Amino acid sequence: MSSMAIHKPLFISLEGLDGCGKTTQMDRVAEFCETRNPHGYILTREPGGTEVGERIRHILLDHAAIDAKSELLLIFAARAQHLKTIIEPALALGQTVICDRYVDATYAYQGYGRGLPISLIDELVRILRIPLPDLTLFFDVPVDLAQARRKGRPTDRIEAEGTEFFERVRNGYRARAESDPGRVAIIPATDTLAAVGQTVDAILRTRC
Ligand code: TMP
């Protein structure tokens, strides 16, 4: 007798430009996961998610200039700590991990945005054994809409980049989604919160 194991995504990341609305949708994802996983879930974020990671986040988002490679390595330092002390232990307990940004952000921001070689990021991912999420929700919005949504909010060092930088970041996310459609779901996020939420629910119903 053979039984087919149904793979339930346990590690979910949310991605998109600053101002895409992903953080607002996290609670919705959590609500859905709560009904599906008796072991519960954790909500976390990158850069951050640990005491050390939050300190690194502070350095990264502060306005002091940082070389692109140093920025990349700080992000991976925070990620290594996050994986070891938060993400992997939660997954080992069977919990769902819902992460506000993760490794696709590094490809999009540091690779496409800053212009660092994608092969360098691939190598760090390989050497540090950074696992990919089971499911990534990419909230896709045009750059001008993302910028309009952010208007009036304080701007951190990365958000202070110009339109061309964010066009490259968006292209980076789209390239990641197109090259791995089984993992990355593109969510057109120009609509109202409620409409985007319904798209999120539909994706979770089919993929979880
Ligand atoms: P947040 O405001 O969505 O929490 O993200 C903080 C900033 O960090 C955001 O501008 C994107 C940036 N970031 C990177 O540049 N590379 C990364 O790998 C991650 C996780 C975030």
Note every long-range contact of 64-72, with CB atoms under 8 Å and residues 24 or more positions apart, other chains counting. Answer: 64/157, 66/157, 68/110, 68/114, 68/115, 68/116, 69/116, 71/110, 71/114, 72/106, 72/110, 72/114, 72/116, 72/120, 72/121, 72/124
Residues with CB under 6 A from ligand 1: 18, 45-47, 75, 100-101, 105-106, 109-110, 158-159
Nearest CA-CA partner of 18 in 159, 173, 133, 161: 159
> The whole model's pTM is what?
0.95
**Which of 13, 17, 18 most suits a substitution to test ligand 1, by most atoms within 8 Å of the C-beta?**
18
Among 109, 159, 165, residue to substitute to test ligand 1 (most atoms within 8 Å of Cβ): 109
Give me the pLDDT at residue 93, please. 95
pLDDT digits (tens, 9 = 90+) for 182-198: 999 999 999 999 999 99
List the domain boundaries for the chain: 11-207
Class of the 11-207 domain?
Answer: alpha beta
- Write the pLDDT tens digit of every residue in 45-85: 999 999 999 999 999 999 999 999 999 999 999 999 999 99
Q: What is the reported pLDDT for 146? A: 95
